[in-house]
Chain A
């Protein structure tokens, strides 16, 4: 409990939480309000959310090719669009990442975590006036699990064997136990649509706080308030306008001239310039996304663990965080999990830059000659610079790295997950289990480090159906150590999500789930005139 209080206090210190948020969360955990009093001694009186106004957001990531079907949503822009008009069964808690009821009121696992029963909320209406039924939910999930589905959530849904109704309850039977099932249903593709969207997947009709008023792919989307919203603690502004702005400078110009209230993807290189503008506030949130250098554990010369260790130790992480992320990020420890995940294994020693030790392992590996690293700025912003910085720090350990810049077009098809040593990016996943299953399980499609260990796979499956949290945490710790010390992953940094808003925007929630307040930015903020 005191840990949580410390966490909240830290958030306040970092300016990431206002008095109201603090009080709300602290009260929920029975923390004395006196703490809050001292913390906010200098700040203004608590604010009540104001309703009304027109909110404008300038967002990167839209394209004329964007599909209205939530199953095919990929871009940042469509992510926010979906959050505005739709709801999932489950949401995630902004600071703990725990599952929170949304269209599912409550849920209950069986003892082996292989069967889950969800109670669907009653009295919720779709934008077209129809009432939400368990049948809509079933059809939606079926549409995303169908073998012919093009859904982005197909990977998540593969573990569901059977979807059926029990009266007005939803029963999911899984192929094997999974303690994280509710979290999987918070995937942003899984918006519940009337009749599952089978009639018209592109209708953009859901149960969300806003109705779509107009939508031009790659240009603009406008929304108006859903008067029948089933929740009152969201949807404060009357109307929302999302404008596609793919040019970073255009976004900054629009924000500093007050033409939009909020922008995403502020370039770390220019964030300090933007900070100087008196009307603007930088909003950075720790996230789960990480920038990585990946080696194939089964391909020479990277099949030698000493060489892998040498390359891990030759990475100057602090410098990369400063130079590539402008300080807006945290150093990584060569396993893909950070403290924003539930059941994070604490106390694992931080790996640091150690040229001597790197040289020792390098010599022991017996490798000679340059190591070829392929990169492109498509992998992550600044990837080419990062590779060159890495080349320099490795040189001090006597390791020669040859940096090859690959064309950005087709990088994900021809280089990533194909070549033995390259740069890449991973967005976070809702759970540790999902992160490991996606990219570290021996037979996973995206096992981009070719990390193949039977004992790891076994542990992963055991942890998945383990309902005892202490045991589960211990298992995750063992797995993290395996990846850290023997895997092909060099993880120098977790990037913060850097967004910015005018000072008119109030109530912004820093959500560890994903960028832009987990996509909910437009439904959570209000405008202070």
Chain B
């Protein structure tokens, strides 16, 4: 198993594991319905038939149901976490300049003097109706501000993914093609070097050479409303390059390992002995079996590109979600932290679900449990 990047996304076991409950649910004993779904007698039979006929739709439904529960749990945990942090909004927002009177005024104004359960339910009541409230600190609508910041984050993540995913898969295949020869080794050394450097260091190196010494790149990468699309692209060039370098090795090495793994298995040998062409073997036999772990790593990295890039945002002065949430946590701005946390959790859940569905589509064996 390869080692994950130190500051990059966490590498779980690529083929199975917590992020990947498919083997347990679908390739397990078929007669057992999911315990999380309704287990009443009638519902049970219906659900069992539904699972049998439309396994994919059942999976999606089941995951959606679970994710709603997960989001509740996440919101409760975030709320508890903020409560457990020392100091509340009033004291941390005013910092050293807090006077008892000003603190009291803010507390009363925001209802911080009420018990936490009441405040949580109050917030929840708004949130299920899609009202995330207003930021305590800036008094602006949370949804509106997040809309802006999320757009920026997705913009950056999209272009980083657009470059890094094909590049990683391509390089991984190239490495397999030239396994243990010079190109493979060069690709491995360079990608390991990139993964070993912390992302802020890569960022600073790029800034030093491209912005300060040669003056060819735009810095800072601040984007704002009145910018044209081309200006935006030029602004994000350096952060995208940094992110690509950070996530590339992870995906590339997983692609290489997965394909190598499959290529050495018995059925590929059988196919070869049957006299099938190389392309046909890879496309029909090897690829569907190798794609599941690769998709999972890609999904993890995509999630990381959206939610885990706060360091890159700070270094390049990019107004994304990460910085927004960190600012909010620092002053315990609960509505903002909650909204950011839920969006991040939703992204992880969605990307993992998408990865599972894609894996099943690619490998029909997973659809019909033995």
Q: Which residues of A contact B (CB under 8 A)?
A: 58, 63-69, 74, 147-152, 154-155, 202, 214, 216-220, 243-247, 249-250, 253-254, 256-259, 407, 409-410, 412-414, 416, 424-425, 445-446
Within 8 Å by CB of A254, from B93, B137, B219, lies: B219
Q: Is there a chain A Cβ closer than 8 Å to B220's Cβ?
A: yes
Contact of A253 with B208 in the complex, beta carbons under 8 Å: yes
Which of chain B's residues 138-190 have a Cβ closer than 8 Å to chain A?
138-140, 145, 148-149
Contacts A154-B101, A409-B85 hold; do A250 and B212 have CB atoms under 8 A apart? Answer: no
Contacts A67-B137, A218-B327 hold; do A247 and B91 have CB atoms under 8 A apart? Answer: no
Q: Is there a chain A Cβ closer than 8 Å to B211's Cβ?
A: yes
Most chain B CB atoms below 10 A, which of A151, A243, A253, A446: A253
What is the total of A-B residue contacts with beta carbons within 8 Å? 141
A-B contact pairs, 21 of them (CB 8 A): A63-B137, A63-B331, A64-B135, A65-B93, A65-B137, A65-B331, A65-B333, A66-B138, A150-B102, A150-B105, A154-B99, A202-B139, A219-B224, A247-B314, A249-B207, A249-B315, A253-B208, A257-B212, A259-B219, A412-B87, A445-B99
Within 8 Å by CB of B105, from A149, A202, A243, A245, lies: A149
A445 to B99, CA, bound (A): 7
Could you give, for residues 300-323 of chain B, a 1 whenever the CB lies within 8 Å of some chain A CB and a 0 otherwise? 000000000000001111010001
Contacts A214-B224, A220-B222, A247-B315 hold; do A410 and B211 have CB atoms under 8 A apart? Answer: no
A353 to B95, CA, bound (A): 33
Contacts A63-B331, A412-B96, A413-B86 hold; do A245 and B212 have CB atoms under 8 A apart? Answer: no
Within 8 Å by CB of B99, from A74, A155, A217, A250, lies: A155
Q: Which residues of B contact A (CB under 8 A)?
A: 85-87, 91-102, 105-106, 109, 135-140, 145, 148-149, 204, 207-208, 211-212, 215, 219-220, 222, 224-226, 314-317, 319, 323-324, 327-328, 330-331, 333, 336
Contact of B317 with A150 in the complex, beta carbons under 8 Å: no
A413 to B332, CA, bound (A): 13
* Neighbouring A residues of B100 by C-beta, 8 Å: 445
Within 8 Å by CB of B317, from A66, A243, A445, lies: A243
* Neighbouring B residues of A250 by C-beta, 8 Å: 207, 220, 314-317
Of chain A, the residue at the smallest CB distance from B316 is: A250
Of chain A, the residue at the smallest CB distance from B86 is: A410
Contact of B319 with A219 in the complex, beta carbons under 8 Å: yes
* Neighbouring B residues of A247 by C-beta, 8 Å: 314-315, 317
* Neighbouring A residues of B93 by C-beta, 8 Å: 65, 74
* Neighbouring A residues of B91 by C-beta, 8 Å: 412-413
Most chain B CB atoms below 10 A, which of A67, A68, A407: A67
Contacts A148-B105, A150-B105, A219-B222 hold; do A63 and B99 have CB atoms under 8 A apart? Answer: no
Of chain A, the residue at the smallest CB distance from B224 is: A220
A257 to B317, CA, bound (A): 15
The 3 closest A-B pairs by CB, nearest first: A65-B137, A410-B86, A413-B87
A154 to B102, CA, bound (A): 8
A74 to B139, CA, bound (A): 15
Contact of B327 with A64 in the complex, beta carbons under 8 Å: yes
* Neighbouring A residues of B220 by C-beta, 8 Å: 58, 243, 245, 250, 254, 259
Contact of A257 with B215 in the complex, beta carbons under 8 Å: yes
* Neighbouring B residues of A254 by C-beta, 8 Å: 219-220, 317
B78 to chain A, nearest CB (A): 16
Task: Add 4 more A-B contacts to A64-B336, A218-B324, A253-B219 (CB < 8 A).
Answer: A69-B139, A148-B105, A250-B314, A409-B330
Contacts A150-B102, A220-B224, A412-B95 hold; do A65 and B327 have CB atoms under 8 A apart? Answer: yes
A64 to B137, CA, bound (A): 9
A410 to B86, CA, bound (A): 6
Of chain B, the residue at the smallest CB distance from A252 is: B212
A220 to B149, CA, bound (A): 13
Contacts A250-B316, A414-B86 hold; do A425 and B138 have CB atoms under 8 A apart? Answer: no
Within 8 Å by CB of B226, from A214, A257, A414, lies: A214
Of chain B, the residue at the smallest CB distance from A149 is: B105
Within 8 Å by CB of B225, from A149, A214, A445, lies: A214
A446 to B103, CA, bound (A): 14
A27 to B220, CA, bound (A): 43
Contact of B85 with A410 in the complex, beta carbons under 8 Å: yes
A197 to chain B, nearest CB (A): 13
A473 to chain B, nearest CB (A): 29
A250 to B200, CA, bound (A): 11
Within 8 Å by CB of A249, from B96, B109, B137, B204, lies: B204
Within 8 Å by CB of B212, from A67, A244, A253, A412, lies: A253
* Neighbouring A residues of B208 by C-beta, 8 Å: 253
B197 to chain A, nearest CB (A): 15
A353 to B292, CA, bound (A): 68
Contact of A256 with B135 in the complex, beta carbons under 8 Å: no
* Neighbouring B residues of A64 by C-beta, 8 Å: 135, 138, 145, 149, 323-324, 327-328, 336
B130 to chain A, nearest CB (A): 21
Of chain A, the residue at the smallest CB distance from B331 is: A65
Of chain A, the residue at the smallest CB distance from B90 is: A150
Contact of A244 with B317 in the complex, beta carbons under 8 Å: yes
Contact of B224 with A65 in the complex, beta carbons under 8 Å: no
* Neighbouring A residues of B207 by C-beta, 8 Å: 249-250, 253
* Neighbouring A residues of B219 by C-beta, 8 Å: 253-254, 257, 259
A219 to B101, CA, bound (A): 31
A20 to chain B, nearest CB (A): 32
A423 to B86, CA, bound (A): 19
* Neighbouring A residues of B94 by C-beta, 8 Å: 74, 152
Most chain B CB atoms below 10 A, which of A202, A214, A218, A258: A218
* Neighbouring A residues of B149 by C-beta, 8 Å: 64
A31 to chain B, nearest CB (A): 40
A219 to B225, CA, bound (A): 11
Contacts A148-B105, A247-B314 hold; do A217 and B86 have CB atoms under 8 A apart? Answer: no
* Neighbouring B residues of A63 by C-beta, 8 Å: 137, 327, 330-331
Of chain A, the residue at the smallest CB distance from B99 is: A445
Most chain A CB atoms below 10 A, which of B109, B225, B327: B327
A155 to B92, CA, bound (A): 18
